[in-house]
Structure 1
Amino acid sequence: MSDAVSLATSILTMQAASTQQALSIEMLRQNAQAEQGLLAMLQQSADQAKAMLPAGQGGNVDVSA
């Protein structure tokens, strides 16, 4: 009887660990997607700001002077 209980406990523990790992992977995937969306938004904002500058502005700056 004790062997059956310990076997059942082991199986339940392994299932819980598997579920926790699957949830962690899903959370990491969603976090990566959110970061990609944020980066795309920031890039679009930077591109729009650069497009609004007059000609000759927003290029390279000579810092050797």
Structure 2
Amino acid sequence: MSETSVAIAQSFAASQAASTRQTLQTAMVKQQASSDQALVDMLQQSAETQKATLAAGQGQNVDILA
């Protein structure tokens, strides 16, 4: 193989590796966003459940001095 062919092959391999790395990073970010959304949903549901179990008028204000 000539030096030019080797350089082209190396460039192609590096390009493919970068593309694969970017695809994996994108998938990881999407998975993290999905996990974060699931956590938000769980916390929201928990807050709604807690609010539903409080007596009338409770949970409306927070005393920051207590």
Q: Which runs of 5+ in 1 are unaligned?
A: none
Identity %: 49
Look up the match of 2:41: 40
Change in Cα spacing, 1:62 to 1:49, as seen in structure 2 (3 Å) is closer
| Cα separation, 2, equivalents of 1:62 and 1:7 | 68
SS in 1 for 2:10: helix
Look up the match of 1:2: 3
**52-61 vs 15-24, which moves further:** 52-61
What is the 5 A alignment of 1:14-53?
Answer: 14-53=15-54
**Pairwise CA distance, 1:59:** 1.2
Q: 4+ residue runs of structure 1 moved beyond 6 angstroms?
A: none
Number of equivalenced pairs: 63
SS in 1 for 2:59: coil
1:11-53 CA distance string (max 9 Å, x none): 0000000000000000000000000000000000000001000
Q: Which runs of 5+ in 2 are unaligned?
A: none
> Once superposed, what is the RMSD of the aligned Cα atoms?
1.2
